Chain A
Amino acid sequence: MAILNTHRAHIIFFHLVAACCSVYAQTAASGKPVVNQDSLVIASFENSVKEYMKLHNKAKAGVPPLKPTNSAHAINQYQRLLASNTRAARPDAKQGDIFTPEISQEFKRLIGMTMKGPGAAKIQASLRHAEPVSKIPLQVNSVYPEHVPLQSSPPSVLLNLPPLPPELDYRIVGHDLVLRDVGANMIVDFIPGAIPSP
């Protein structure tokens, strides 16, 4: 697919250039090949997500499975139970556990790169027209408030972030980036100030 490939090509190209420059500089200095630090940071994020998914799957195993149902009550009940089990499995979780300072920095760089690129005006317009969510207090392990709309995420930003398993998604709240457990509608972690002002 042309458009997606273009996005990915930009990211890959950027990382390749960064990696080559980094390797060249560091190899030249030390004589030993080194690994691109950005890739390491992303790999570290992916590992944290895998760890969270293990916990999520364990919590899910303790909840009766839910197929499509006529009962909204059953959906809400399932969501509450899953959130409760997941919360119980990580009672001490706090902001920055997954989005460590290094990972937050890398995400800010990736988002900033997208939002200052050729599509910047479109992305900013997309954010403005998406019914921006007013500032709500974010807290790890708490449920995303059901009365507050979920702001849409500009595709260009999403396509430049590391992909997530379907059980998780990225959400924008004001200038913050939230990692959300979809089934539990629960805030897993967030990066304050990840979305730059225009």
Chain B
Amino acid sequence: MRMASPSLSSNAKAAERRVIATAATALTSDAAVRPSVSPYQSACDLPNEQKSVHFAVIGDSGTGGSEQYQVAQQMENCRQKFGFDFVLMLGDNIYGGKSQQDFERKFEQPYKALLDAGVKFYATIGNHDDPNERLYKPFNMGGARYYSFKKENATFFALDSNYMDSSQMDWLDHQLQITSTPWKVCFFHHPLYSDARYHGPDLDLRAVLSPLFQKYGVNLVLSGHDHVYERFKPANGAYYFLLGNSGELRYHDLKRSADMVAGFDTDRDFMLAEIAGDKFYFQTISRSGQVVDSGVLERPQR
């Protein structure tokens, strides 16, 4: 569902200014990445342009803890203000047990307001998930562990990074080859880039996927696994985000590197996103409603 905005142009201009102001608005434990607070910090404030793609992103969410519910409440607040049609889930959707009660407590109840409003969730499988979650209809995986779907000028590719075998690689190669939308978004659990101390980047996965991403112009990559938020400098023509703290959190786990643009490791969060023409607008919002990172990124030209 998309809500009409009476002041599209002013919102768009505000977002344009924001990109200049938000070189690093995020908060982390590392003194080197202290926030430089932007004046444009109103949550759920994206341009809301016509024919744009609105969505939210969560990762490592399925704890069933109160923090997950509080993040979900912030998502619902944003949906009412901004409106978004779907949510990308970056894996670890259901931690621990996988009973009916677990699915209710760790997914259906926290996101009830969103589900009731018709928001669709598109899941990927994390290492704490049962691969048979692909059969759980509300995850919209169509029974497949990897799949794609198209929204306006963007195609989204959900990958199973637990098990990147030759059949999945062949499928991805073919799908990327025949996809003509300007935006190609890949999302999966294990991050190719991460400055978190606990896990860090999956270098073997990066060695296999990066050449494909570069070859076919994948321009946005979203992953979880490490329980922090991080945004990176573009690599090989793609923007990389790590968001693995929508339920779990590894407090003070980030260590700044030259690749980091922004990071947040002191609370849970989710991302609100809009793809409008050649621009990707985003806000990362904590469970208390604070904007911890935001900006607008131009689609890289090939």
Mark A residues whose CB is within 8 Å of B: 1-4, 8, 66-73, 75-76, 78-79, 119, 121-123, 125-126, 129-131, 146-147, 149-156, 158-159, 163-164, 166, 169, 182-183, 185
| CB atoms of A1 and B103 under 8 A apart | no
Cα–Cα, bound, A167→B167 (Å): 12
Residues of B near A67 (CB, < 8 A) are 135, 143
Mark B residues whose CB is within 8 Å of A: 96-100, 102-103, 127-138, 141-143, 161-167, 169-170, 173, 189-190, 199-208, 211-212, 215
Write the chain A residue with the least CB distance to B140: A68
Cα–Cα, bound, A72→B265 (Å): 32
Pick the contact of A150: B127, B142, B200, B212 (CB < 8 A).
B127
Residues of B near A70 (CB, < 8 A) are 136-138
Pick the contact of B215: A2, A158, A183 (CB < 8 A).
A2
Cα–Cα, bound, A75→B169 (Å): 27
Residues of A near B100 (CB, < 8 A) are 71-73, 76
Cα–Cα, bound, A119→B99 (Å): 40
Chain A nearest CB: distance from B180 CB in Å?
Answer: 18
Write the chain A residue with the least CB distance to B211: A3
| CB atoms of B130 and A146 under 8 A apart | yes
Given pairs A3-B169, A155-B205, A163-B167, 6 additional interface contacts (CB within 8 A) = A72-B102, A72-B136, A119-B207, A131-B199, A155-B204, A158-B166
Write the chain B residue with the least CB distance to A156: B204
Chain B nearest CB: distance from A71 CB in Å?
Answer: 7
Residues of B near A169 (CB, < 8 A) are 131, 163, 165
| CB atoms of B99 and A72 under 8 A apart | yes
Chain A nearest CB: distance from B298 CB in Å?
Answer: 28
Residues of B near A73 (CB, < 8 A) are 99-100
Pick the contact of A152: B103, B190, B206 (CB < 8 A).
B190
